[in-house]
Amino acid sequence: MDGARRVIENGGVAIKSGRIIAIGGTNEIDRTYAAREVVNASGKVVIPGLINGHTHVPMTLFRGLADDLDLQEWLTKYIFPAEARNVTEDFVRVGTRLGLAEMIRSGTTTYCDMYYFEDAIADETFKAGMRGVLGETVIDFPVADNKTNAEAMAYVEKFVSQWKGNSLIVPAIAPHAPYTVSEEHLKAIRAFSDRTGAPIVTHISETKREVDDSLKAKGATPIDYLNRIGFLNNRVIAAHVVWPSEEELNLLKRLGVGVVHNPQSNMKLASGVAPVPEMLKRDLQVGLGTDGAASNNDLNLWEEMDTAAKLHKVISKDPKVISAEEAFEMATIRGARALHLEHEIGSIEKGKRADLVVVDLDDLNQTPYYNIYSDLVYATKAADVRTVIIEGRVVLRDHRLLTLNEETIKADARRYRERIIRSLGAKTLPED
């Protein structure tokens, strides 16, 4: 995923102090460097770590709680009440560990998050050795960690100053959406970001209803409105952008706004199909995300690549839109651009952070092998991820998690399942 899109046969990568210091042929790297640790990847492919551009990681604990509903009904009848009754710092930690384990195991090395108690999420993420752009949610109603906007802004102030400069964590501020945060608060958030350099993570233009409501209430579409109040710039990471006009796409490009496409979540909630081929034509910085596990229902970037490539073919009736290589770019280098981290991650290049994934190439579903991008995007499964290195540290070795305890994580999550069902008023647990 370097500028020339080189694919090196029999290649080697040298890593020092968390960064890539050389790339070349295996022999050349072997001759030049004496390594303390060698990861043998012969017969396999080494790819840049995958980047999940949009999640709500603790929502893994709501996986499968309510399905087959549209966004408004799903949010207001199920997710918001379930969150109001269950989200605590402990809930967030348990759900985060589950999500981190799932993401690392499937080759994701960076994720962008928006939730509550984001400081605890940062703590768990750092401990697991994972990279994250982590945004504390700001929303205009009382939530689990903060009851007022003043409390939320004070939380974010402390959170950002505490984590700024960390090698793995980029602390961010996350206004939920233009329809759940007032103009005054959005302006204050932009001022906070200007002052601290913290990225802004948000949802924009997710559904047609959001656009219609915005036109009625504000006389402008969500993107038009956000632009008018001076909110958009090159620190904004916008999830979804399903309903932009052509001019709005030009505007997002001009302002350098990062966009994250969540094909499976948009399909499951029937939110619509984002005009991703139009975005790519304009060279927008567009990445891929899973969204929270409650609307997907997993955190598997391989499926998002495969779905992104196929969804846009069927919608446009053109099999040439979004090639396998373009889908892979969105999960790596273009995803890095969407998070405004392209100088640090997204490709295997000298000087970048050493976030690498070793993928098997000899499973039945990958045999025979002709083309690397076709194999990775259309045939490879998450289970083919063998070894994961983040910031030069091995966190998954031969399919085994080294920084997280899988059995404890599953037991903790199952314990929460029972609490969540009771909290929603069910007298008996299904399938018990």
Judged by the rule CB under 5 A, the positions of this chain that interact with Zn ion are 291
Minimum CB distance to Zn ion, residue 115 (Å): 10
Q: From CA 366, how far away is CA 319, in angstroms rounded?
A: 22
When the beta carbons of 168 and 242 are compared against Zn ion, the nearer one is 242
When the beta carbons of 124 and 291 are compared against Zn ion, the nearer one is 291
Minimum CB distance to Zn ion, residue 8 (Å): 36
Answer positive or negative: Cα dihedral of 18, 22, 24, 25. negative
> What's the burial of 66, exposed, middle or buried (CB within 10 Å: 0-12/13-18/19+)?
middle
Minimum CB distance to Zn ion, residue 216 (Å): 23
Return the percent helix, strand and coil in the chain, to nearest 5: 45, 20, 35
When the beta carbons of 100 and 324 are compared against Zn ion, the nearer one is 100
Residue nearest to Zn ion (CB): 291
Q: From CA 299, how far away is CA 289, in angstroms rounded?
A: 8
Minimum CB distance to Zn ion, residue 299 (Å): 12
Q: From CA 162, how far away is CA 196, in angstroms rounded?
A: 12
When the beta carbons of 291 and 306 are compared against Zn ion, the nearer one is 291
When the beta carbons of 106 and 262 are compared against Zn ion, the nearer one is 262
Minimum CB distance to Zn ion, residue 289 (Å): 8
* Cα–Cα nearest to 255, from 264, 266, 244: 244
Minimum CB distance to Zn ion, residue 53 (Å): 10
Minimum CB distance to Zn ion, residue 269 (Å): 10
When the beta carbons of 266 and 347 are compared against Zn ion, the nearer one is 266
Q: From CA 264, how far away is CA 258, in angstroms rounded?
A: 19
- Enclosing H/E stretch for 96: helix 89-105
* Cα–Cα nearest to 356, from 130, 107, 133, 132: 107
Minimum CB distance to Zn ion, residue 17 (Å): 34
When the beta carbons of 214 and 295 are compared against Zn ion, the nearer one is 295
Q: From CA 402, how far away is CA 266, in angstroms rounded?
A: 33
Q: From CA 77, how far away is CA 176, in angstroms rounded?
A: 18
When the beta carbons of 291 and 375 are compared against Zn ion, the nearer one is 291
Query: What dihedral angle (degrees, nearest 10) is formed by the CA atoms of 202, 208, 209, 213?
Result: 80
Backbone phi and psi for residue 130, each to the nearest 5 degrees, phi listed first: -105, 155
